[in-house]
Amino acid sequence: MAAPLSRVISTTLERNQSFYHRSLVVSAFPRLLNNKNAKFCNDRGKIEGTKENINLTWALTSGAVFGVGYLLYKWRREFLECINPSTIGSTLFPSVHAGKNFFVTDISQNREKYNFIADVVEISAPSVVYIEIKDQKRMDFFTGKPATTSNGSGFIVSSDGLILTNAHVVVNKPNTQVKVRLQDGSTYTGVVEDVDMQSDLATVRINKTNLPVMKLGSSSNIRPGEFVVAIGSPLALSNTITSGVVSSVNRQSAELGLHHKQMGYIQTDAAITFGNSGGPLVNLSGEAIGINAMKVTAGISFAIPIDYAKEFLKKAEARRNNTGIKNTSELTKRRYMGITMLTLTPDILFELQQRNNNIPPSVRHGVLVWKVMLGSPAYIGGLKAGDIVTHVNGEVVVSASSIYKVLENPGALILRVIRSGEVFELRIEPEEA
CA distance 158 to 127: 10
Active site residue 200: yes
Q: Contact at 8 Å (CB) between 274 and 235?
A: yes
CA distance 197 to 86: 83
Active site residue 168: yes
The one catalytic residue among 135, 194, 200, 387: 200
Q: Contact at 8 Å (CB) between 148 and 130?
A: no
Active site residue 277: yes
Of 269, 153, 279, 158, the closest CA to residue 213 belongs to 158
Residue 108: which residues within 8 A CB-CB, separation 6 or more? none
Q: Which residues of 267-303 are buried (b: 16+ CB within 10 A; e: fewer)?
A: bbbbbbbbbbbbbbbbbeebbbbbbbbbbbeeebbbb
CA distance 327 to 134: 22
The one catalytic residue among 127, 150, 153, 168: 168
The one catalytic residue among 277, 301, 376, 402: 277
Residue 72, classed as helix, strand or coil, is helix
Of 306, 280, 299, the closest CA to residue 199 belongs to 306
Rg (CA), the chain: 49
Q: Contact at 8 Å (CB) between 235 and 249?
A: no
Distance of CA 303 to the CA centre of its chain: 18
Residue 197: which residues within 8 A CB-CB, separation 6 or more? 167, 171, 259, 330, 332
CA distance 292 to 230: 7
H helices present in 204-345, as ranges: 253-256, 306-323
CA distance 19 to 29: 16
| Residues involved in catalysis | 168, 200, 277
